[in-house]
Amino acid sequence: MLIERIETNIEDMKREEIIQRHIEKVYLDSDHLVKRIQRVKTDHGREIGIRLKEARDLVAGDVLYMDEKNMIVIDVVADDLLVIQPRNLLEMGTIAHQLGNRHLPAQFENDVMMVQYDYLVEELLQEMDLPYKREKRKVRQAFRHIGHSHG
């Protein structure tokens, strides 16, 4: 089976549309969400080729295939993350500046900042006495590095 476009995202579907279908999942590492061309396998052993015509990243919950009885949905494997919860705006600005200097991509969810685990960042957080936890957590989208040079 070759997938060239995303049907929808499961979060945009009505509950009735979901429960009437059997769901197969494709589990991807978050860094594979940026790949438009790849070969994957569902949790039922079905091999699928993905070659998206549209220039877009995959997102957790994307529906690769759907008919009246079945759906194939993207799910994400949990990442090893540092979940940072600054206590105030000064702490947020300081850690954001420090991580920005390292060109480290971050994601934000509610009141927390999440970055992929790095022992040097963990040491920095300890030195700065910032509250954080190391957690395995699923993210909806890939950590995207933004190209930049200090030229």
Q: How confident is the model at residue 119 (pLDDT cuts 50, 70, 90)?
A: very high
For 48-82, give one letter per residue: b (16+ CB within 10 A) or e.
bebebeeeeebbbbbbbbbeeeebbbbebeebebb
Question: Quick one: fold of 2-76?
Answer: HSP40/DNAj peptide-binding domain (2.60.260)
Of 3.40.225.10, 3.40.50.960, 3.30.70.790, 3.30.70.270, the CATH number of 79-137 is 3.30.70.790
How many other β-carbons are positioned within 10 Å of the β-carbon of residue 110? 5
For the stretch 29-40, pLDDT in tens is 998 999 989 999
Position 141 scores a pLDDT of: 81
> In angstroms, rounded to a whole number, what is the distance separating the alpha carbons of residues 126 and 112?
17
Question: Which among 119, 22, 118 has a CA at the least distance from the CA of 72?
Answer: 22
Q: How confident is the model at residue 148 (pLDDT cuts 50, 70, 90)?
A: very low
CATH 3.30.70.790 maps onto the chain at: 79-137
For the stretch 42-80, pLDDT in tens is 999 999 999 999 888 899 999 999 999 999 999 999 999
Residue 150 has pLDDT above 50, yes or no: no
CATH 2.60.260.20 maps onto the chain at: 2-76
* Strands in the chain per DSSP E: 2-3, 8-9, 22-28, 37-41, 47-51, 62-66, 70-76, 79-84, 107-109, 112-116, 132-137
